Homo-oligomer: A and B are copies of this chain.
């Protein structure tokens, strides 16, 4: 059985909710191999039922702990929860912080929770596409809520988290004198703001600062139909978690019923198409470019040539060979 056929066969097993099939299909999506595109195309058409929550914040803002708590509460309400955590991977952490935390908790053996860590390092541009494919795979596998968690500082990471139905930005006290989300440029992407670690005595200051900042921003920005909630939470005392779940549910309904929600889903679809097209384009020529660039790098290092001329030469010779690629399995999907 070819890998393409094998991947398509996985789709049925994903629909049946088989954890091993989910894991395998996400890994194949991560690999970006052309053989998996047909399966992912099917997944995309089957998906659309889950509510996708993007959750972001600077390192140290307590995102993973909050996701854990949120998952517990959603489970208690009967929802199945899928989690895709995008971790900047490091040889030290192995990018498995969230996974470790939840493994230690009661949820380890709960089939209603599925956690997947995806590493950013080494993902050459395809991270956004793969993460959104992973969200769809969990959607098709029957998870009612899918949480996409990422460190909100990088350009790609922020783009991914924006491609969700409800975006939560987490700020925490004690991370310096200023609102970290401003420095990271993620303040304005929030549908819901959370100030975590509200058991700390300095949390009130962060709440006040954030609310002031938002008032200033809202005056400047055009009036929106959505009233931005600011929720203070503590995973120690449990404070605010119920309130957060109410806010999420309200925003989910707002997204389904408002013109703004419709516009957002359209923008997500457009982002998705553009990212996929960009990735397919880089895939088609990427290998040829990588192969050809190694011997040219020495000339470039000595500044005897420039990157623009060399890159143009590379592309022109690759494009001339392009017709061969029409036999590629990707072309048959359409």
Chain A residues proximal to chain B, CB less than 8 Å: 37-38, 40-42, 44-48, 58-60, 87-93, 95, 97, 120-121, 123, 125, 127, 151, 153-158, 172, 174-176, 178, 180, 182-188, 213, 216-217, 220-221, 265-270, 272-282, 284-286, 289-290, 293-294, 296-298, 300-301, 303-316, 319, 322, 326, 330-331, 333-334
- A73 → chain B closest CB, angstroms: 24
- A28 → chain B closest CB, angstroms: 13
B41 touches A183 (CB 8 A): no
Task: List the B residue with the shortest CB-CB distance to A284.
Answer: B315
B120 touches A185 (CB 8 A): yes
Q: How far is the CA of A176 from the CA of B26 in the complex (A)?
A: 32
B88 touches A303 (CB 8 A): no
Q: A278 contacts which of B95, B270, B289, B308 (Cβ < 8 Å)? A: B289
A151 touches B183 (CB 8 A): yes
A91 touches B269 (CB 8 A): no
Provide the residues of chain B in CB contact with A311, threshold 8 Å.
273, 276-277, 279-280
A273 touches B307 (CB 8 A): yes
Given contacts A154-B155, A154-B156, A276-B308, contact A303 B266 (CB under 8 A): no
Other A-B pairs beyond A121-B158, A272-B307, 11, CB < 8 Å: A37-B308, A46-B303, A90-B185, A120-B154, A155-B156, A156-B156, A273-B311, A278-B286, A280-B308, A308-B333, A312-B333
- A61 → chain B closest CB, angstroms: 8
A300 touches B278 (CB 8 A): no
B293 touches A274 (CB 8 A): yes
